[in-house]
Amino acid sequence: MYKRKPFFIVFEGVEGCGKSYQSKKLFDNLRRNKIDVVLTREPGGTKSAELIRNLILKDYFNRVNKEKFDKYTDTLLYLAARNEHVLNKIKPALKRKKIVICDRFTDSTIAYQVYGKKVDIKFINNIHKKILGNVRPNLVFILKVSTKSSKLRLKKRKSKNRYDNFSQSFYTKAQKSFLKIAKNKKNYFILDSSSNNNILEKNIFNIVKKYLNI
C-alpha cells in the first residue's frame, strides 16, 4: 500500500531520447493513481529559472563575431537556474511529501559540461554542495537511444534550441558519459528508448511502483 513520502525521480539522456515524453507519461500514470506529483524540468522549472533557460538555450551566438559565452559562464548560468529551481520548487515540493519528476538534473551538467566541455568537476561539486543541500534523486532513468531514432525525433521538432543542432559525435559522446555516470549505481536504470513505446512506459511505471510500494 502506498504511503505518502517525498520522492525525487529524474530522467536523463541526450536530445531525442524521449525523456520529456516519458517523464510526462509517468506523471500522467501517477496522477491516475491519485498520487500527488509535480512535473518539472531543467534548466527551468520556475519563472526565474525559465528566464535563465531562455538566455542559455536561445541562439545567443553573434554570427558575425562568433561571440559566445565562455564555458564557465555557461556552466554558472545552468547552476544559477538550478539554485532557483531547487530552492523554490523542488525542496518545497519534497517537504510537502510530493513526488517530483524532473526532466534533467545534475547528471546532465556532468555529461555535458564536465565530460563534454572539460569544465573542472571540482568547480561544479563545490557549488552543488552549497545549493543542493541533501537533495538527491531517489531514482534516475537514463534513456539510451539509437542514432537513427534520435535523428528522426530531432528532425520532427518544430522549435529547436542550440543543443538540438549539435553534431552526432557530440551526442554519441554525451550518451557514453551518461552510461558511465550510471555504472554500478543501484538506483539508476538504463533503458532503451529507441522505440519509445507503451512497453517502455509500462516498464518505467512498474519500476516506480516497486519503489513507491503502490
Domain residue ranges of the chain, discontinuous segments joined by +: 7-212
Quote the pLDDT of residue 125.
Answer: 97
Mean pLDDT to the nearest integer, 146-174:
66
What mean pLDDT, rounded, does the chain reach?
Answer: 89
Residue 194, pLDDT score: 85
pLDDT at 154: 57
Question: 133 exposed, middle or buried (CB, 10 Å; 0-12, 13-18, 19+)?
Answer: exposed
CATH of domain 7-212: 3.40.50.300
pLDDT at 173: 87
Closest CA to 53 of 69, 76, 77: 77
What pLDDT is recorded for position 59?
53
Residue 133 φ/ψ region, left for φ over 0, alpha for ψ in the -120 to 50 degree band, beta for the rest: left
Rounded percentage of the chain residues whose pLDDT exceeds 70? 86
User: 156: pLDDT confidence band, cut at 50, 70 and 90?
Assistant: low
Residue 69 is classified by DSSP as -
The pTM for the full model equals 0.90
Structure-derived torsion over alpha carbons of residues 181, 186, 135, 91, reported in degrees to the nearest 10: 120
pLDDT at 91 over 80: yes
**Does residue 29 register a pLDDT over 90?**
yes
Whose CA is closest to 30, among 18, 38, 42? 38
| pLDDT computed for residue 81 by the predictor | 98
Residue 128 in 3-state DSSP?
helix
C-alpha 75/C-alpha 38 separation (Å) is 26
